[in-house]
Amino acid sequence: MNNPRPPLKSLDDALVELLGFATFLPDVESVSTFDADGRVLAQDLVSALHVPPQDNSAMDGYAVRCADIAQTSGLLTVTQRIAAGSSGVPLESMSAARIFTGAPIPPGTDAVVMQEDCEVLPADDAQACMRVRIKSAPTPGQWIRRAGEDVTLGTVVLSKGTRLTPASLGLAASIGMHLLPVLRRPRVALFSTGDELVMPGDVAPAQMKPGSIYNSNRFFLRALLVRLGCEVTDLGIVPDQLDATVQALQKAAQHHDLILTSGGVSVGEEDHIKPAVQSLGSLNLWQIAIKPGKPFAYGRVQAAHFIGLPGNPVSSFVTFLLLVRPFLLKLQGATDVAPKSIALPAHFNWTKGDKRREFLRVKRNAAGGLDLFANQSAGVLTSIVWGDGVVDNLPGQTITQGDMVWFIPFSEMLG
């Protein structure tokens, strides 16, 4: 009597289990701040100064004392000129300083009046100072950026585990960091399985044999890995043979942190990934209750992590975003690995809720809702190109036009 198959693991349970295996890589590198986009900080960045370092002007205009304006009907003598990168002297009574954006505020100043609210008057003679009339009474603190209002000395500006962005690189530079401590990039070996696969350029479309298809997965998986900061070794296409699959896995396990495969993880007679992995190590996860993407596997091959993705292009793409991406981010030490979803109205009907959790390819429209791609097949890669995200639809859930649904933008998961 055959033993019944165990129930499929839910996505949430699979992700928790998968991330439990992703212990971060211990090696720390020091890289130029110019080159650290997308890398993960290995330690907190603590500021050694205030940013800005001193009070400075937020506008081109005139630095004044508010009390002087009432006494002089707004007419002040301009006694100094302070540009960014220079410094002034204490502001004299009944005087103003011509000041430019970013220039330090001279002592005694309590406001800056922007130049549009000032009228410059000619000097009485060649020896006299220029005068300025302040046309609107300033309030104390007006247009002054205070020292430390952005960053205070001694504060943590970026925490360990932060995945660096262009904005955070600018923040790191603002506290004087020209080198950043980051965890090293994961080394990933990538290969596809399938006798039907052909590489573009090797065979012209007109000469394709019946049953052959071009290997699209290899291209988008490599691009996704590179976007996530991985060092990728592309091992090509492995034929549907158990010995060849075992040899490819043995080779890939050398000097790599992760082996990522596409295809061969189902239960057909020509699907050799499962027995090959089990012969060399262990298989911890096998098949997930999601659509598309049920044939997903995680295990170990010697010291390397192993993840097997489905062969259907959409299944491979979606499972990479939902499972492989957070795994790789945690491997690099990132603390924020989950994509953010937003509630939006569905501008479509979905009357056939599946027993598995579904990820429907959709696109935002000008009315603020979501349109559904007509063909939700796991092999229709045009749905990914057309769409800009997926609806996360719970098992058995139908959708009626106007219902609020959870939308995960591809922009949340493609970098």
Predicted pLDDT of residue 268: 54
- Count Cβ atoms below 10 Å from residue 149 Cβ, excluding itself: 13
Architecture of the 56-145 domain: Beta Complex (2.170)
CA distance 388 to 409: 6
DSSP state of 268: S
Q: Are 362 and 407 in contact (CB under 8 A)?
A: yes
Residue 345 corresponds to which tokens in the numbers above? 């109205």
pLDDT, position 1: 44
Residue in the block written with tokens 């036009």: 401
- β-sheet with 281-286: strand ranges across: 231-238, 187-193, 258-262, 304-309, 297-301, 281-286
Q: Where are the domains of the chain?
A: 11-26+185-331, 28-51+149-183, 56-145, 342-412
Contact by Cβ (8 Å): 346, 406: no
Is the Cβ–Cβ distance between 259 and 189 less than 8 Å?
yes
* pTM, 2 dp: 0.87
- Looking at 3.30.1600.10, 3.90.105.10, 3.30.980.20, 3.30.230.10, the CATH number of the domain 28-51+149-183 comes to 3.90.105.10
Please name which of 193, 272, 195 lies closest in space to residue 236, comparing C-alpha atoms: 193
What Cα–Cα distance (Å) separates residue 107 from each residue in 88, 97, 110, 149, 312?
A: 8, 11, 9, 18, 69
Strands 304-309 and 357-364: unpaired
pLDDT at 285: 86
CATH of the structural domain 11-26+185-331, one choice from 3.40.50.1100, 3.40.980.10, 3.30.70.370, 3.40.50.1240? 3.40.980.10
Give the C-alpha separation, 154 to 171, whole Å. Answer: 14
Single-letter code of the amino acid located at 378: A
Q: Can you give the pLDDT at residue 286?
A: 85
Nearest Cα neighbor of 252 from 229, 276, 228, 271 is 276
| Position 53, amino acid | P
Residue spans of the chain under pLDDT 50: 1
**Chain centre distance of CA 176:** 24
pLDDT of 160 reads 96
Residue of 273, 267, 298 lying closest to 283 (CA atoms)? 298
The pLDDT score that the predictor gives to residue 403 is 98
| CATH, domain range 342-412 | 2.40.340.10
Rounded distance between C-alpha atoms, residue 361 and residue 353, angstroms: 14
Q: Is 202 left (phi over 0), alpha (psi -120 to 50) or beta?
A: alpha
